[in-house]
Copies of this chain bind each other. A is one copy, B any other.
Amino acid sequence: MKPIQVGLIGLGTVGAGTFHVLQRNQAEIRGRAGRGIEIAMVAARNAERAKAFQAIVGDGVPCVADPQQLVDNPDIDIVVELIGGIEPARSLVLKAIANGKHVVTANKALLALHGSEIFAAAREKGVTVAFEAAVAGGIPIIKALREGLTANRIEWIAGIINGTTNFILSEMRSKGLDFATVLKEAQRLGYAESDPTFDIEGVDAAHKLTIMSAIAFGVPVQFDKAHVEGISSLQATDIKYAEQLGYRIKLLGITRRRENGFELRVHPTLIPASRLIANVEGAMNAVVVQADAVGTTLYYGKGAGAEPTASAVVADLVDVTRLATADPDHRVPHLAFQPDAMSNTPVLSMADVKTAFYLRLVVADQAGVLSRITTILAEHDISIDAVLQRESADGERQTDLIILTHDTVEGRMNEALAKMQGLPTVLAPIVKLRKEELA
């Protein structure tokens, strides 16, 4: 059988990685897929990269500057989009689909924002859009959620799905350094981009979480409804206090089924230090899934990098090669559920989200302060799990008061916080972090 013909758009880190993995493991991949997978054409804007590529492969594989040429090439069966960003990626993917080609992409931003449009177009043309590489790099989490756990009603997902921020948090904790110092170190080591905004502000994690929520709950991708909070204002002192209380702080993407909708939120989160996911260090990723039949499962691995991401891209190529022979109605649906089984469950507003809280208050070191604060919490029906009061040094007029609460809805907590913040004995803005037991 003729090898399936692949067009590769983008020769950056992941594009080059995909090319190398396909070449190096050619025999293994053909042995598994039952059919060769051949890169028939490459598109790269960067002339230097194109030249270096041409030097490796010779003239056998044409490398063009204009990706339009590639998506219009009638010999190509599958288009692999690895340029990232919204445009021109969106137009190229839609054009490839219109031309009847299957698409493999690692582009989380594109799918989190325009997934509905893209999947609808693919359905209409009877082609598949595969995107394992868009979430958690090399970890086969899309496959696990969509096929492995297909028997289950998924209750919640909580993931460390951004390696940059997990590296920064690991370093802040183990070395006791502050955010700015560690960010510089991460940039020097290549773990953070020169403009790190998307990573450190939680946007990248929210893109990935949005895709997982759609697959888990059978809802459309709706990034615009996600609550997104990063780690740039997180202070080393809170990491330290959390540790004293038996918790680690991780940037988690959490999506959870509730009675009237589902939660969709990315924020720094305290989790018990004994949980497996609390011990995921450095740039590694991990996703915990809670589902009704299987219980808790966890998936761990590298969430980024040339070859880990290529591993997912190539797995998709093999899947698409196989699925292409099944009739479209019997392929794995893009978002796990058949289009007519999708639901319009709403995303809950943060005011309705229920979590426990970590509060740090800088208070005047005088009698009655704790009582006034606990009274406000009691008036809002918020019960206290633990209190940690720092010994104030001699002569100091202020001290840190840390409170862990039990679960409460965030709206109510915000009302209580406004009252506490108004007390003359509360001397600085109160730090509020969410806490999850993940059990």
Contacts and interface: CB of A to CB of B under 8 A. Distances in A.
A24 B153 CA distance: 9
Interface in A297-341: 297-302, 305, 307-308, 310-315, 318-319, 321-327, 329-333, 336-338, 341
A160 to B, nearest CB: 12
A292 interface: yes
Which has the most chain B C-beta neighbours within 10 Å: A31, A150, A296, A300? A150
A22 to B, nearest CB: 8
A94 interface: no
A33 interface: yes
A315 B34 contact: no
B25 A153 contact: yes
A428 interface: no
A144 interface: yes
A150 B34 contact: no
A336 B28 CA distance: 10
Given A314-B150, A326-B330, A338-B31, A300 B301 contact: no
A135 to B, nearest CB: 12
Contacts of A329: 34, 325
Contact of A326 (B296, B305, B325): B325
Contact of A294 (B35, B279, B302, B325): B302
Nearest to A325: B330
Contact of A338 (B34, B311, B314): B34
A402 to B, nearest CB: 27
Contacts of A326: 322-323, 325-326, 330
Interface in A243-293: 276, 279-280, 291-293
Contact of A331 (B24, B148, B322): B322
Interface residues of A, number: 71
A32 B217 CA distance: 11
Given A33-B150, A330-B325, A301 B311 contact: no
Given A147-B315, A150-B318, A301 B294 contact: yes
A295 interface: yes
A297 B138 contact: yes
B148 A144 contact: yes
A140 B144 contact: yes
A221 interface: no
A30 interface: yes
A334 to B, nearest CB: 12
A143 B148 CA distance: 7
A431 interface: no
A127 to B, nearest CB: 16
B322 A294 contact: no
Contacts of A312: 151, 294
A181 interface: no
Contact of A152 (B292, B298, B300, B311): B311
Query: Which 3 pairs, one residue from A and one from B, show the smallest C-beta to C-beta distance?
Result: A140-B148, A31-B341, A151-B314
10 contacts: A25-B293, A31-B337, A34-B329, A138-B293, A149-B311, A292-B307, A294-B311, A295-B302, A295-B308, A321-B330
Interface of A: 17, 21-22, 24-25, 27-35, 132, 138-140, 143-144, 146-153, 218, 276, 279-280, 291-302, 305, 307-308, 310-315, 318-319, 321-327, 329-333, 336-338, 341
Given A144-B144, A149-B315, 17 more contacts: A17-B293, A24-B292, A31-B341, A32-B336, A132-B148, A138-B294, A151-B311, A292-B307, A293-B310, A293-B314, A294-B308, A295-B305, A295-B308, A297-B299, A297-B301, A300-B300, A323-B326
